[in-house]
Structure 1
Amino acid sequence: MAAESWPAPAMALGASADQACLPAQANDLEALGLPEALPPDWRQRLLGAFGQALEGQRGLRQALEACVGCGACHQSCSFHLGTGDPHNTPQGRADLARRLYRRHFSPRARLLGRWGQPRDILDEDLLGLWRAYFWQCTLCRRCTLFCPLGIDTSLVTRACRHILAQVGQVPGHVAREFLGILGSGNGQGLPPAAWTARHQALEEELLRETGQAMACPVDEQGADVLLIPSPQEPFSQSATYKGYAKVFHAAGLSWTTSTYLNQASNPGLWLGPRQAALVGRRVLEATRLLKPRHIVVAESGQGWAVLRNLGAVLAGGLAGEKYLKAKEPLHICQLSSRLLKEGAFAGVLRPQALQGVKPVFHEPCQVARSGGLGQEPRRLLKAACLGWLEMPKPVGGPLTLCCGAGGGLNAPELYQVRLAGLMPLARALAQAQRRQGCTAVVTMCATCQDQLGEGLAHFGLGLTVHGVHEFLGQALYPSRPAEARP
């Protein structure tokens, strides 16, 4: 179905209330150190966790108190635009938390106690709404830019996910991904042998495609770069991944990946501070094992946003590691942009290799609003492509629309939710295709690539999807025609 002809959903409260994640198994909850699902005292536990969240996060109480209900955030939210459900607005979602806040934690509640307060509304119906709607938000933070008071509703969503975890309400896919990282270094359960074999195959593919012998090392000590990628990149997004190898080869940099940690994103962020720290600690440990000069995050939206915000913590943990030239991580676009400015690609870059491709740049929400990157990917696209396009201003730059798949929404059972979240962006891309003549979408997030590759076909958009480093790599070392390969 063409995106622009997809009718806007009717406004219906609870329209997406039945779109909930499948729960984690009891053995996974035990491995996470979390209680069983809904223990007998779950109400007391939930309220206790809510109180601790308010004590530990100053911005949470402000976000719950400050909202005046103006509705400015409603039309900013891709999931509200895609589902038509008033609960699926930033305000509506946070109001589910405000019900408990006003009853138990607000200044009025502290002053009056139970006297004069409404009846206790903490029941399994409200809990079910929490389970559904706090997992229909990607924490993209677009709503924050539209709120006249600057309320960051992602604080509420993240806090309520942590609170739910304290009563055993954890999505099964998040639990499995987190435990997979602790077990095999990535949430997909790829063992070291499979990771190494794939990198050996990539070296052979690069040699056939370009005629150049390029290394794709694994677990090598003392490299210039320790690359922390998304685990699907060497497999389903290999063109982008090969672009990294081409950049390092052109610049004369040695690089490696680690089988101890080969996933940039941190699912612990959705479970609680302790779980997020456990994944973050693996970055420190992988660095100490391999002793690189730089830590570089690949094209991962959430992975970069989290590691960037943990930069000072990482720097403190790595303060004594003399082999590091920089204690804080770099994004691959920062590194490549720096190499470009220093002339590392002079005489090698051939943007004419991409002649005939007219991509529009979709800026990932975690990069545009939480990642501090703006000019670097554009500088690379300008160098690699003879013609590329920006998204229209209302949905470009910091106002970029979410793809609908990040923030832990990658469960199969949330497929319809992801399509609904993608619908506003699909409409904008359809407009860019019709008015600007774009033929492709280029982005810098592995999750965006997966979501757009699958979702745009649903909307009938014949746009191919690429990574920034796929284009940069192709401009550095174009693939030879099949008939010219050995």
Structure 2
Amino acid sequence: MKIPMLLATADEMRKIGITPVPEGKRVSAALQLLDQYRSFARQLSVMLESCTGCGACAQACHSYRGTDDHHNIPAARAGLMRRVYKRHFTWLGKALGIVGGAPQLDAQTLESWIDYFYQCTVCRRCATFCPLGIDTGEIVLAGRNILSQLGIAPSFMVTIARNELGAGNNTGIPQPAVLDSCAFLEQELRDETGLDIPIPVDKPDSDLLYLPSSSELFSNVETLMGAAKLFHALGVNWTISTTMLEAANYGFLFNLELMKEFNQRMRDTAARVGATTVVVGECGHGWRVARMCSEGANGPLPFNLVNVLDFMAERLSDLALRKLPLRATLHDSCNHARGTGLVDAPRRIMSACVEEFVEMSPNREKNFCCGGGSGLLMEEMLEIRMKLGKMKGEQIRRLLPLDYVAVACASCKAQLPLVLGHYGMEEVRSGGVIDLMGKALQLNRL
């Protein structure tokens, strides 16, 4: 299936430090990059050589079940790289060549990489069901990295990466706008609670640096307000920072060098405000990068790193929470559940904050992706995104009547309302786990 994704121009790529490879040299450059990647990440070779084609991943994949496209079967998608690898980097492929049925890498193959590596949300559900544990998501990320080094990447993702490296957040919000937004939210908190609840910005000598999603300043404000109420109730000396107002790290999704650069900013920002603890907010891949990639990217962390869900779940006994009159469920973010094993904390919070907590089926590490992960939130991909969200829609429909779908990931927060509307469930609300916790908090009882 050809995708309508808009690719970045050469000028856009240069703005993030990538010089595009001329079209006539892309094939040879791609082979060199694949060779470098398999040497750098030896597990790539193991995964490319191990697949038996058993088909266990097919029904596990929301992309295949939503699009009914053979190439979206994880094994088939990985095969787009596997055939190239076997032809050029195994002794049998080199000996038999094209006679053995393994085609050489060509421009058409690179086009197929673009189409299918960007219909995968890197949810890694395939790895959960593969009898050999082959992680097609890692193969997809390798392909995206190679494409980006050739100068091929989505304009949407390149723009976000440039904003992260420039302004320190996805949407390029400048410092004055951050200060204005926080002042507005502080007034909202005052109107709601009658208390002066601060949202500190760039406060020196802070014990804790909170990394929200920048969307919490304009579309997911209930999450930042909820976090502010909870930190206030716990007496935490905290701050956000205008130099890094973003849990997300889009470089992880298509270019590792950009990922490393933005990851370093987390360290620099924590040192600037004096924080000994960094709390990563509601962002799935942002938490995965911080938790799983930081030391490999830039060395040992000089601070305690914790997810906001774990941080709050450990302090439930210190908070006065009432149960909201809601029938609610939890959508497990792929990067939380399968990427870092973060499944218990949100359930402890939900059970403390709503009258009726019901589980999706399947759930935890076997939950289906919402269809909007790995940076695929571009408008031109909306039709495909709705197909990728089909399985999530079916999961939620089985729980009706339902009041609320809680999710601790900014990408999922952007995708789920559209999925709910597309599949005729507009009456079901969705939002953050910390949103609910903030609404359930009884400040007057502390």
Normalised to the residue count of structure 2, the TM-score between the two structures is: 0.95
SS at match of 1:299: coil
In 2 relative to 1, CA 438–472 (structure 1 residues): closer, same or farther, beyond 3 Å? same
| Residue correspondence of structure 1 range 60-209 to structure 2 within 5 A | 60-110=44-94, 112=95, 114=97, 116-118=99-101, 120-209=103-192
The offset of 1:119, in angstroms, is 7.3
1:302 aligns with 2:274: no
Counterpart position of 1:251: 234
Task: Work out the CA distance in 1 between the residues paired with 2:43 and 2:244.
Answer: 32
1:465 aligns with 2:430: yes
The offset of 1:386, in angstroms, is 2.1
**Number of corresponding residues:** 443
SS at match of 2:369: coil
Counterpart position of 1:407: 374
The offset of 1:106, in angstroms, is 2.1
The offset of 1:414, in angstroms, is 1.0
Counterpart position of 1:337: 313
CA contact (8 A) 2:288 2:335 kept: yes
The offset of 1:75, in angstroms, is 0.7
| Residue correspondence of structure 1 range 272-351 to structure 2 within 5 A | 272-313=255-296, 316-319=299-302, 327-340=303-316, 343-345=317-319, 348-351=320-323
Task: Work out the CA distance in 2 between the residues paired with 1:35 and 1:378.
Answer: 46
Task: Work out the CA distance in 2 between the residues paired with 1:22 and 1:171.
Answer: 6
The alignment-based identity, stated in percent, is: 34
SS at match of 2:315: helix
Counterpart position of 1:428: 395
Task: Work out the CA distance in 1 between the residues paired with 2:247 and 2:228.
Answer: 17
Task: Work out the CA distance in 1 between the residues paired with 2:443 and 2:298.
Answer: 38
Task: Work out the CA distance in 2 between the residues paired with 1:147 and 1:64.
Answer: 13
SS at match of 1:32: coil
Task: Work out the CA distance in 2 between the residues paired with 1:209 and 1:420.
Answer: 39
Task: Work out the CA distance in 2 between the residues paired with 1:38 and 1:63.
Answer: 30
CA contact (8 A) 1:206 1:214 kept: yes
In 2 relative to 1, CA 443–89 (structure 1 residues): closer, same or farther, beyond 3 Å? same
The offset of 1:475, in angstroms, is 1.0
In 2 relative to 1, CA 427–380 (structure 1 residues): closer, same or farther, beyond 3 Å? same
In 2 relative to 1, CA 308–377 (structure 1 residues): closer, same or farther, beyond 3 Å? same
User: Structure 2 regions of 5+ residues with no counterpart?
Assistant: none
| AA in 2 matched with 1:369 | R
Task: Work out the CA distance in 1 between the residues paired with 2:304 and 2:299.
Answer: 9
CA contact (8 A) 1:315 1:328 kept: no
Task: Work out the CA distance in 2 between the residues paired with 1:189 and 1:388.
Answer: 37
CA contact (8 A) 2:408 2:433 kept: yes
CA contact (8 A) 1:367 1:373 kept: yes
Ranges of 4+ aligned residues in structure 1 off by more than 3 Å:
113-121, 311-319
User: Structure 1 regions of 5+ residues with no counterpart?
Assistant: 1-16, 320-326, 480-486
Task: Work out the CA distance in 2 between the residues paired with 1:182 and 1:93.
Answer: 31
SS at match of 1:360: strand
1:475 aligns with 2:405: no
Out of 391, 400, 403, the position equivalent to 1:439 is 403
Moved more, 38-47 or 182-191: 38-47
The offset of 1:271, in angstroms, is 3.1
The offset of 1:418, in angstroms, is 1.0
Moved more, 420-429 or 379-388: 379-388
Task: Work out the CA distance in 1 between the residues paired with 2:300 and 2:335.
Answer: 25
In 2 relative to 1, CA 66–337 (structure 1 residues): closer, same or farther, beyond 3 Å? same
Task: Work out the CA distance in 2 between the residues paired with 1:318 and 1:102.
Answer: 38
SS at match of 1:166: helix
Counterpart position of 1:264: 247
The offset of 1:21, in angstroms, is 2.0
Counterpart position of 2:37: 53
1:456 aligns with 2:391: no
The offset of 1:185, in angstroms, is 0.6
Between 1 and 2, higher relative CO (CA 8 Å, sep ≥ 6) is seen in 1
SS at match of 2:20: coil
CA contact (8 A) 2:331 2:360 kept: yes
The offset of 1:179, in angstroms, is 0.8
SS at match of 2:218: helix
CA contact (8 A) 2:88 2:104 kept: no
Q: Root-mean-square deviation (CA), in Å?
A: 1.8
Moved more, 265-274 or 173-182: 265-274
In 2 relative to 1, CA 304–295 (structure 1 residues): closer, same or farther, beyond 3 Å? same
Task: Work out the CA distance in 2 between the residues paired with 1:103 and 1:316.
Answer: 36
SS at match of 1:196: helix
The offset of 1:448, in angstroms, is 1.0
In 2 relative to 1, CA 32–376 (structure 1 residues): closer, same or farther, beyond 3 Å? same
| AA in 1 matched with 2:330 | F
Task: Work out the CA distance in 2 between the residues paired with 1:410 and 1:418.
Answer: 8
| AA in 1 matched with 2:386 | L
The offset of 1:192, in angstroms, is 1.0
Normalised to the residue count of structure 1, the TM-score between the two structures is: 0.88
| AA in 2 matched with 1:330 | V
CA contact (8 A) 1:26 1:36 kept: yes
The offset of 1:318, in angstroms, is 4.5
In 2 relative to 1, CA 285–318 (structure 1 residues): closer, same or farther, beyond 3 Å? same
1:379 aligns with 2:348: yes
CA contact (8 A) 1:222 1:293 kept: no
1:218 aligns with 2:193: no
Task: Work out the CA distance in 2 between the residues paired with 1:143 and 1:78.
Answer: 10
CA contact (8 A) 2:86 2:102 kept: no
